[in-house]
């Protein structure tokens, strides 16, 4: 459920028409709905019913500080994968002690920054990383709170680029090596072992892989218990999918209930952390864009719009399917089959293919489900300034990121003397 709906054939975000936003802010432009963000966060938070838990929103899905602010105000924690994301959380007012730090390649600087700021836990993905964290913690005269990320070797049945819990992936520690690593960690004076983590992939549309991964992680917890290592925190990562077209992912409530059912059979009383990104913000945003030209091709037509692969790379990168809809449906026009493409000089620059759309030059279209992995993956390719971002809140809207100017793109560059 989201708050993008037609009113008298005009597409609205909550109480604001998208056409009015385009008129004021210009296009291309990302538009997010605050009510949708809040609704989705609540859908993850509520089913725990008093069970000790944290919902640590994955900042990499959409790191705009106003998005983080809205979630922080609802009590969210944050899952980060870089020092830059930690700075974003802090700028948004988020407390570092609600932050978990994931990722395979944490630098010395990033680890030092995170430890100084007092993040809740670091998810460790390899032995050399564990050693590095230990050394830095000792040099700072503190103990780093650590979870080891297990690679449970389960197939999430998603796009290969976003599968992360298979044996051959770069993520996590193979579960057969986990015990030995925990034993090493337990002897390190800069390490405080608190948890265990996993994250098996993104855009999962079934609960079974999550439950299989949880069973494997709990097997490790049991083994550790036998050798005197008692963990208190269980982090199951993110990855719940959303509906882009015909997918039918479980609702957060169903997914969480399935996890709780597994936990009950194992009499597990650990604090549970989830790290949803896409499922919170994906359907809370659209990319608003204007048709520059309709170009008739020999075999099909192209709707050339002012947003491109540099604004939304998911179609080009993962062959992702996004719904594209007319912002104004009142005008009486025939629909035509077209590819929706941008101005970038690549044939991979498409947002959608073979769509029936009733559009003409200067019309607005909205690319739906663009709130996650949209703006954050945008670039300046072809010297294109990045789009503005807007947050709708009831009957008002706020520019939460200004459109870049072309001069800002080369402001850090230098001519030779």
Ligand X SMILES: *Cc1c(COP(=O)(O)O)cnc(C)c1O
CB of 221 to ligand X, least distance (A): 19
Minimum CB separation from ligand X for residue 199, in Å?
Answer: 4
Query: In this complex, which beta carbon is closest to ligand X, that of residue 79 or of residue 212?
Result: 79
Peptide bond before residue 231 is cis, with ω within 30 degrees of 0: no
| Contact set with ligand X (CB under 6 A) | 58, 60-61, 79, 81, 102, 199, 202, 237-240, 275-279, 372
* In the complex, least distance from residue 165 CB atom to ligand X, rounded to whole angstroms: 10
Distance of alpha carbon 85 from alpha carbon 79, whole angstroms? 9
Cβ atoms of 313 and 377 within 8 Å: the answer is yes
Integer angstrom CA distances of residue 236 from 85, 184, 196, 290, 320: 20, 23, 9, 40, 25
**Which one, 198 or 308, has the nearer CB to ligand X?**
198
Cβ-based nearer residue to ligand X, 27 or 123: 123
Report residue 342 as tokens: 């941008």
Measured from the CB atom, is 60 or 120 closer to ligand X?
60
Identified catalytic residue from 29, 192, 211, 345: 345
Name the residue nearer to ligand X (CB basis): 81 or 193.
Answer: 81
| CB 107 to ligand X: min, Å | 17
Active site residue 345: yes
CB of 312 to ligand X, least distance (A): 16
List active site positions. 345
């Amino acid at each position: 459920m989201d708050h993008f709906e037609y009113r008298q054939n005009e597409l609205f975000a909550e109480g604001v028409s998208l056409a009015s936003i385009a008129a004021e802010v210009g296009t291309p432009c990302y538009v997010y709905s605050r009510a949708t963000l809040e609704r989705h966060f609540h859908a993850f938070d509520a089913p725990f019913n008093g069970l000790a838990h944290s919902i640590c929103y994955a900042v990499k899905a959409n790191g705009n500080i106003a998005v983080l602010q809205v979630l922080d105000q609802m009590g969210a924690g944050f899952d980060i994968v870089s020092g830059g994301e930690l700075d974003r959380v802090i700028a948004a007012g988020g407390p570092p002690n609600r932050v978990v730090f994931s990722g395979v390649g944490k630098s010395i600087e990033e680890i030092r920054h995170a430890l100084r700021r007092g993040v809740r836990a670091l998810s460790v993905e390899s032995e050399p990383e564990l050693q590095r964290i230990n050394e830095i913690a000792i040099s700072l005269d503190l103990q780093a709170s650590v979870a080891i990320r297990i690679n449970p070797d389960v197939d999430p049945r998603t796009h290969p680029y976003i599968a992360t819990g298979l044996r051959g992936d770069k993520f996590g520690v193979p579960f057969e090596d986990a015990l030995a690593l925990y034993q090493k960690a337990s002897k390190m004076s800069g390490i405080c072992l608190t948890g265990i983590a996993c994250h098996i992939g993104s855009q999962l549309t079934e609960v079974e892989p999550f439950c299989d991964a949880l069973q494997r992680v709990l097997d490790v917890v049991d083994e550790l218990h036998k050798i005197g290592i008692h963990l208190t925190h269980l982090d199951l990562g993110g990855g719940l999918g959303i509906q882009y077209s015909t997918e039918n992912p479980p609702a957060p409530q169903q997914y969480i209930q399935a996890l709780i059912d597994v936990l009950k059979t194992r009499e597990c009383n650990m604090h549970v952390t989830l790290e949803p990104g896409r499922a919170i913000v994906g359907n809370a945003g659209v990319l608003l864009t204007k048709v520059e030209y309709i170009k008739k091709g020999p075999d099909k037509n192209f709707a050339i719009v002012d947003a491109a692969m540099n604004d939304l790379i998911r179609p080009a990168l993962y062959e992702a399917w996004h719904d594209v809809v007319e912002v104004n449906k009142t005008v009486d026009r025939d629909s035509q089959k077209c590819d929706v493409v941008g101005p970038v000089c690549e044939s991979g620059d498409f947002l959608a293919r073979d769509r029936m759309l009733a559009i003409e030059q200067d019309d607005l279209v909205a690319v739906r489900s663009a709130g996650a992995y949209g703006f954050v993956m945008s670039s300046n390719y072809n010297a294109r300034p990045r789009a503005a971002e807007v947050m709708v809140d009831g009957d008002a809207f706020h520019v939460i990121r200004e459109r870049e100017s072309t001069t800002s793109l080369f402001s850090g560059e230098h001519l030779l003397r």
